[in-house]
């Protein structure tokens, strides 16, 4: 497996798909990275030579990815919670933040239903 920015990317896939295994790199950003590094989109990772891998690492180092991006994401949520603003309160209560209805739906955020029969006892 090729190791880029501390992540093992699969060697038997195209470079575009393999780069998406890195947190913070999607398909369009992977395409942009390959373009800047002058690497063909359709090349398979195991066919890359060391010079091309080094060019990839250099281009990827310009972006915020992996641990730094996760830290930035969680710190922004923590900031909202500490402020006590509406969005922070919604995060704290584990409810939808962006105005969705909660009377029905919202099961992803709220978790599985608690049955009313078990509460009536």
- pLDDT tens across 36-55, in order? 999 998 999 999 999 999 99
**Where in the chain are the domains?**
2-63, 64-100
Supply the DSSP string of 96-111, one letter for each residue: -SSS---SS--HHHH-
pTM higher than 0.85 for the full model?
no
Judged on CB neighbours under 10 Å (0-12, 13-18, 19+), 121 is exposed
Q: What is the CATH number of domain 2-63?
A: 1.10.8.50
Residue 119 — very low, low, confident or very high, per pLDDT cuts 50/70/90? low
């Amino acid at each position: 497996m090729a190791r880029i920015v501390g992540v093992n990317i699969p060697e038997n896939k195209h470079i575009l798909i393999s780069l998406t295994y890195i947190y913070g790199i999607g398909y369009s950003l992977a395409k942009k990275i390959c373009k800047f590094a002058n690497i063909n989109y359709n090349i398979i990772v195991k066919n890359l030579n060391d010079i091309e891998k080094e060019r990839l690492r250099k281009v990827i180092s310009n972006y915020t990815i992996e641990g730094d991006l996760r830290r930035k994401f969680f710190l922004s949520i923590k900031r909202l919670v500490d402020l006590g603003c509406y969005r922070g309160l919604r995060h704290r209560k584990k409810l939808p933040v962006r105005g969705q209805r909660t009377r029905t739906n919202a099961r992803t955020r709220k978790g599985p239903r608690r049955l009313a029969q078990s509460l009536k006892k």
